[in-house]
């Protein structure tokens, strides 16, 4: 199939996507499919797309849940992120795919749910089987937590999106939202002990943290990644991965990473960053980078290589297209069985 024919085929394959967090949804643009993105969902802190995180993808339009339910578009696949999304769209007949973004244990802790994790897992498995749905996890840790390890598709990043790293500002950076409800997951106690008194900037929606705000827009966020000396990611090894999208973006921008000794960390200790469970030692590494811009640039160069090797757009494009086809096959098989 030539490029022109492929582009024509892509234009016919519209995806209906629930907005989860804009950074993850934005990467779907690499598929080349038109996107109908549902905004205004219950429980979200913004009623529409948050352009402080990402611009609206060029091949996308925003619509409400009611408009999506009533749409005449024959969607190629419906992309959801939780049980609520699946139930909200149950009246539509198209194939559906659910993305697992968090561990079951981490989500239960964050939401302070009264329902036992095993019950939540059992309900989801039963419902996915009932509707002929397909589940994709963004990491093996998260897929294993929910009992879905068939399809693991890590997110992707394009290093060409970022200006050349300088590390000109002798300060650390961490990007995270709603820290207050995620302190246990993010090992915030370690973060505070290691970096207290050092120049570390926290960026994100955190109304409970005085003086902390989100980036103005995507361009501003990239400027922060370009200029700060190192990036921080700490996480409980059983509840969260040793990286998140912001970590991978920081690596792609050329930043060295500081964090705890997480078995899932993409950081090579002493090469692309530093890892330690000892706050005093982690602080020593931070001070070393604050005092040595050349070291930060050299280590960040290695971090960028890792991001290119492990989180490429090409790999995501191929894997997620296959995930969509698997979802379509499962849905069609269910219809035949019925």
* Confidence class for position 1, pLDDT limits 50, 70, 90: low
pLDDT at 338: 54
Tell me: do 33 and 48 sit in the same domain. Answer: yes
Mean pLDDT of the 149-168 span: 96
If asked whether residues 268 and 173 sit together in one domain, one would say: yes
204 shares its domain with 296? yes
Mark whether 167 and 295 lie in a shared domain: yes
Q: Mean pLDDT over residues 181-196, rounded?
A: 96
In terms of Cβ atoms closer than 10 Å to its own Cβ (0-12, 13-18, 19+), residue 87 is exposed
Residue 22: its pLDDT value, please? 93
Domain that holds residue 243: 159-310
Query: How confident is the model at residue 201, as a pLDDT?
Result: 97
What integer pLDDT is reported at residue 216 of this predicted model? 95
Q: Which two tokens stand for residue 73?
A: 């578009």
- The b-or-e profile of 236-265 (16+ CB within 10 A means b, else e) is bbebbbbbbbbbbbbbbbbbbbbbbebeeb
Half-sphere exposure of 53 (CA within 13 A, CB side): 22
Determine the pLDDT at residue 108: 79
Do residue 150 and residue 222 come from a single domain?
Answer: no
Tell me, yes or no, whether 197 and 60 share the same domain.
no
pLDDT of amino acid 43: 77
- Over residues 14-39, mean pLDDT: 96
Same domain, 195 and 261: yes
Structure tokens at 83: 């049980």
- What average pLDDT does the chain have? 93
State pLDDT tens for residues 59-98: 999 999 999 999 999 999 999 999 999 999 999 999 999 9
Q: Domain with 323 in it: what CATH number? A: 3.40.50
pLDDT (0 to 100) of residue 281? 98
Instruction: Give the per-residue pLDDT at 337.
Output: 62
Q: Please tell me whether residues 125 and 232 are part of one structural domain.
A: no
Let me know whether 281 and 333 are in one domain.
no
Q: Report how many domains make up the chain.
A: 2
d(CA 152, CA 249): 19
Judge whether residue 110 has pLDDT over 80: no
Mean pLDDT, rounded, for 165-180:
96
Return the exposure string of 180-205: e unless at least 16 CB atoms fall within 10 Å of the residue's CB, then b: eebeebbbeebbeebbeeeebebbbb
Q: What is the pLDDT of residue 117?
A: 81
3 state SS for 149-214: CCCECCCCCCHHHCCCCCCCEEEEEEECCCHHHCCCCCCHHHHHHHHCCCCEEEECCCCCCCCCEC
> Does residue 93 share a domain with residue 20?
yes
The gap from C-alpha 223 to its chain's centroid, in whole angstroms, comes to 20
Residue-level pLDDT at 151: 98
> Do 279 and 141 reside in the same domain of the chain?
no
Residues 175 and 42 occupy one common structural domain: no
DSSP-assigned beta bridge partners for residue 98: 80, 135
CATH number for the domain harbouring residue 306:
3.40.50.2000
């Amino acid at each position: 199939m030539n490029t022109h024919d492929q582009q024509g085929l892509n234009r016919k394959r519209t995806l209906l996507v629930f907005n989860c967090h804009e950074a993850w949804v934005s990467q779907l643009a690499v598929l080349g499919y038109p996107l109908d993105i549902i905004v205004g969902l219950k429980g979200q802190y913004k009623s529409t797309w948050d352009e402080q995180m990402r611009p609206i993808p060029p091949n996308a339009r925003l619509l409400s849940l009611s408009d999506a339910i009533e749409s005449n578009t024959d969607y190629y696949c419906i992309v959801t992120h939780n049980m609520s999304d699946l139930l909200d769209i149950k009246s539509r007949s198209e194939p559906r795919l659910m993305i697992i973004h968090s561990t079951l244990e981490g989500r239960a802790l964050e939401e302070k749910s009264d329902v036992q994790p095993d019950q939540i897992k059992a309900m989801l498995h039963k419902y996915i089987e009932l509707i002929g749905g397909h589940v994709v996890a963004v990491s093996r840790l998260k897929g294993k937590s929910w009992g879905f390890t068939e399809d693991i598709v890590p997110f992707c990043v394009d290093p060409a999106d970022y200006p050349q790293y300088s590390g000109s500002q002798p300060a650390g950076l961490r990007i995270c939202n709603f820290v207050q409800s995620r302190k246990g997951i993010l090992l915030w106690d370690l973060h505070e002990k290691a970096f207290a008194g050092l120049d570390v900037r926290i960026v994100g929606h955190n109304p409970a943290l005085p003086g902390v705000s989100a980036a103005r827009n995507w361009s501003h966020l990239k400027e922060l990644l370009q200029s700060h000396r190192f990036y921080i990611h700490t996480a409980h090894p059983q509840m969260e991965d040793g990286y998140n999208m912001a970590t991978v973006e920081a690596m792609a921008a050329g930043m060295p990473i500081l964090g705890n000794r997480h078995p899932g960390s993409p950081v090579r200790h002493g090469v692309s960053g530093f890892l330690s469970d000892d706050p005093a030692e982690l602080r020593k590494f931070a001070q070393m980078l604050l005092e040595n811009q050349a070291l930060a640039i050299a280590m960040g160069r290695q971090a960028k290589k890792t991001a290119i090797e492990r989180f490429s757009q090409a790999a995501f494009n191929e894997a997620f297209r296959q995930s969509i086809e698997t979802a379509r096959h499962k849905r069609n098989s269910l219809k035949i069985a019925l």
